[in-house]
Amino acid sequence: MNNRFIPSIILAAGFIGGVTLLGNQLGDAATAFLNKDRIVTVKGLSEKEVKATHVIWPLSFTEMGNELAAAYDALEEKQNLVLKFLRDNGIDESEITLASPKVQDTLANSYDGRTRPYRYILTQVVTVSTDKVDTIRKLSVTQRELLKKGVALSSDYSYMTAYSFTGLNEIKPEMIESATKNAKAAAQKFADDSGSKLGKIRRANQGVFTITDRDENTPFIKNVRVVTTVEYFLND
């Protein structure tokens, strides 16, 4: 073969190879372009009812009198009764917090000119923070022992029992899996109805977990909810 034709052959082969490669890239790009809008976005829901794992129970009680020192002594006696009630029913000292007593001087704060039956009103709050949810539920509805000893707990909305769920990390994987399966089922139905095949996931968003009371009458039962958003490719 004439040596002067060799560079031409190499050049032609390189040109053909380049065109082939370019053609493949253009083909892939065209396929990607055709498929870029062939997606379906679906949402998957997962809900689970769980029992509260922690509770904060504020116990508020008052004492009234015209002599501050005597009213404070009487309040301290009530406080000791409440503390004994808690300890006798399995609540540890580490789970109990005492707030400083609040003192209201009705004479000093009387702006309407009315005469109050007692000058001083003292309020004490003992707060229990514990994982013993069942124990607190039982104690909160059976306060007869305290009532018999003259301790009436306040029913003020400022001192409501608060239940919470602290085990979210343990149930997250299971709930995400369930929500993703629900989303895939919805996407598959859409693909079937449109005569397409369900492709790979294009994008997925886990969603935000929310924890709410199941209802206002059972705050110790929580509803955990998550909604995932998933985008799938649709293929012919």
Measured between alpha carbons, how far is 101 from 116 in angstroms, rounded to an integer?
20
Q: Cα–chain-centroid distance for residue 82?
A: 32
- Average pLDDT of the segment spanning 132-145: 90
Strands 221-235 and 39-51: antiparallel
Render pLDDT for 151-209 as a digit per residue (tens, 0 to 9).
999 877 778 999 999 999 999 999 999 999 999 999 999 999 989 999 999 999 999 99
* Average pLDDT over all residues of the chain: 85
CA angle, 75 then 77 then 83, to 5°: 105
Q: What is the DSSP string of 43-102?
A: EEEEEEEEE--EEEEEEEEEEEESSHHHHHHHHHHHHHHHHHHHHHTT--GGGEEEPPPE
pLDDT the model gives residue 37: 62
CA distances from 108 to 68, 69, 105, 121 (A): 13, 17, 5, 12
The pTM score is: 0.75
pLDDT at 155: 76
Question: Region 39-46: what's the mean pLDDT?
Answer: 95
- Greater confidence (9 vs 61) lies with 61
